[in-house]
């Protein structure tokens, strides 16, 4: 791997890996994606408006765990992230599924995954795998270097009139800025990374980065994306605030395993597939 790629991930919190997956690997990812859409887990949400507009989001589906553990063992991400981070070991955490269709899907609100997940450290990455060619305007957007900046509160994702409605509240974490509104007033208000991608390309980002998925439109009517999450040696447990009953301390994923960890503990469990 080129040192410039490592440096970009360290400093920017995201990078594009061109032609990362070959045709066969991409087909296996697509099969896993289609199975997940057809077999949603307990954290899935979906919307279908009776026409062609549809959205599906799912996260860490326990029904898919065995097949996804097997899938990631056949993909190159263990080697890639060991090299990208300089980590001796790499583990697979879980997947996330995004489907937008119908040509009218709104963007996903800006957020940091670490407002919802009890994670700290440098060795974290989301591998963002899309199955359609995506113009830059319809791709994932990341605020450069924000993984080393402020940890903001999350958004509830429930208030279309306020994309910064706090998840935890009570002033425990700073409220999210309204990035879209600020960019509308000043297009240079944020240094935003985004790439046009082709099938086989993978966008990698640190989950503490401020990021959000652009919407779909008539020119790019569908976006099907499989996100695979990984961590390495410098990954630790960071409890979430205790004020939101749903997310208190351990988040909502693998909560029994998270309850066994203390603040600052290495993020380890036999539950997570070790790849390297």
For 166, the token pair is 């706090």
Nearest to 117 by CA among 273, 269, 235: 235
pLDDT at res. 54: 72
pLDDT at res. 247: 94
Nearest to 254 by CA among 57, 80, 41, 28: 41
- Give the domain range for residue 115: 3-274
Count the Cβ atoms, other than its own, within 10 Å of residue 23: 8
Please give the Cα distance from 180 to 238 (Å, whole number): 29
pLDDT at res. 49: 54
Which of 52-66, 68-82, 145-159, 245-259 is predicted with the least confidence, judged by mean pLDDT? 52-66
Q: Give the pLDDT band of residue 129 (cuts 50, 70, 90).
A: very high
Q: Residue 50 pLDDT > 80, yes or no?
A: no
Mean pLDDT for 183-194 is 97
Q: Give the pLDDT band of residue 156 (cuts 50, 70, 90).
A: very high
Which of 41-55, 117-131, 144-158 is predicted with the least confidence, judged by mean pLDDT? 41-55
Please give the Cα distance from 40 to 87 (Å, whole number): 33
CB 163 within 8 A of CB 148: no
Percent above pLDDT 90 for the chain: 89
Backbone CA torsion sign across 103, 104, 110, 111? negative
pLDDT at res. 3: 95
pLDDT at res. 52: 59
Please give the Cα distance from 272 to 235 (Å, whole number): 13
- How many independent structural domains does the chain possess? 1
Residue 115 is part of a domain; what is its CATH number?
A: 2.60.120.620
Give long-range contacts, CB 8 A cutoff, 24+ apart: 264-267.
Answer: 264/120, 264/236, 264/237, 264/238, 265/236, 265/237, 266/233, 266/235, 266/236, 266/237, 267/119, 267/121, 267/231, 267/235, 267/236, 267/237
pLDDT at res. 53: 63
Tokens 């066969």 identify what position? 24
Helix 3-12 / helix 77-85 crossing angle, nearest 10 deg:
80
How many Cα atoms within 13 Å fall on the side-chain side of residue 243?
12
Mean pLDDT for 227-247 is 97
Mean pLDDT for 202-226 is 94
CB 194 within 8 A of CB 140: yes
pLDDT at res. 214: 83
The residues near 21 (Cβ < 8 Å, ≥ 6 apart) are: 29, 75, 76, 129, 200, 202
Kindly give the residue spans of alpha helices, DSSP state H, lying in the chain: 3-12, 23-38, 65-73, 77-85, 179-185, 255-258
Please give the Cα distance from 29 to 22 (Å, whole number): 11
DSSP-assigned beta bridge partners for residue 223: 100
Please give the Cα distance from 105 to 119 (Å, whole number): 30
Please give the Cα distance from 196 to 172 (Å, whole number): 37
The SS3 call for residue 180 is: helix
Q: Give the pLDDT band of residue 48 (cuts 50, 70, 90).
A: low
Q: Give the pLDDT band of residue 104 (cuts 50, 70, 90).
A: low
pLDDT at res. 200: 98
Please give the Cα distance from 123 to 82 (Å, whole number): 9
Question: For strand 90-101 and strand 222-232, is the pairing parallel, antiparallel, or unpaired?
Answer: antiparallel
């Amino acid at each position: 791997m080129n040192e410039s790629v490592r440096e970009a991930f360290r400093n920017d919190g995201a990078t594009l890996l061109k032609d990362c997956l070959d045709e066969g690997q991409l087909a296996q990812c697509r099969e896993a994606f289609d199975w997940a859409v057809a077999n949603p887990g307990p954290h899935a949400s979906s919307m279908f408006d009776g026409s062609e507009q549809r959205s599906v989001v799912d996260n860490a589906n326990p029904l898919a765990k065995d097949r996804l553990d097997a899938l990631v063992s056949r993909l190159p991400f263990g080697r890639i992230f060991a090299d990208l981070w300089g980590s001796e070991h790499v583990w697979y955490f879980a997947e996330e599924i995004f489907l937008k269709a119908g040509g009218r899907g709104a963007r996903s609100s800006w957020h940091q995954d670490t407002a919802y997940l009890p994670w700290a450290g440098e060795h974290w990455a989301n591998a963002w795998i899309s199955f359609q060619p995506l113009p830059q305007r319809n791709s994932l957007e990341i605020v450069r270097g924000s993984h080393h900046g402020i940890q903001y509160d999350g958004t509830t994702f429930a208030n279309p009139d306020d994309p910064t409605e706090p998840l935890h509240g009570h002033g425990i974490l700073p409220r999210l800025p309204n990035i879209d509104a600020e960019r509308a007033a000043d297009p240079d208000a944020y240094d935003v990374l985004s790439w046009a991608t082709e099938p086989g390309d993978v966008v990698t980002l640190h989950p503490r980065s401020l990021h959000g998925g652009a919407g779909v439109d008539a020119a790019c009517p569908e976006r099907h994306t499989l996100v695979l999450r990984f961590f390495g040696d410098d990954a630790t447990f960071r409890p979430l605030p205790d004020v939101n009953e749903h997310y208190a301390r351990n988040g909502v994923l693998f909560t029994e395993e998270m309850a066994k960890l203390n603040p600052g503990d290495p993020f380890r469990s036999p539950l997570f597939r070790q790849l390297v």
